[in-house]
Amino acid sequence: KERKKERKKKERKKERKKERKKERKKERKRRKKEKEREREREEKKRKKRKERERDGGREEREKKERETKEKEERKRRERERE
């Protein structure tokens, strides 16, 4: 009778151990997925930021070019008036 109890106890212990192992595995998998998603999100943000910076740089160049053209145009008109 005592041995039977002991055996049941050990079996339950084994089962609990298996369950915990399964849970840990699931948790690891979940964390890994979460990390991957986070990494992708960061990558997207980085790409957007780079794109914005590139566009911003282009806008700045275009603005400067426009200003220089306007200056040249003004100078030309001044010369024509004289």
Report the candidate in 75, 78, 55 with the shortest Cα–Cα distance to residue 67.
Answer: 75
Structural domain range at position 19: 1-81
Query: Which residue spans within 1-82 are E strands per DSSP?
Result: none
Per-position pLDDT tens, the chain of length 82: 788 889 999 999 999 999 999 999 999 999 999 999 999 999 999 998 888 777 777 777 888 889 999 999 998 888 887 7
How many domains does the chain divide into? 1
The residue assigned the tokens 């008109």 is 77
Tokens for 16?
A: 């609990």
Tokens for 40?
A: 């992708």
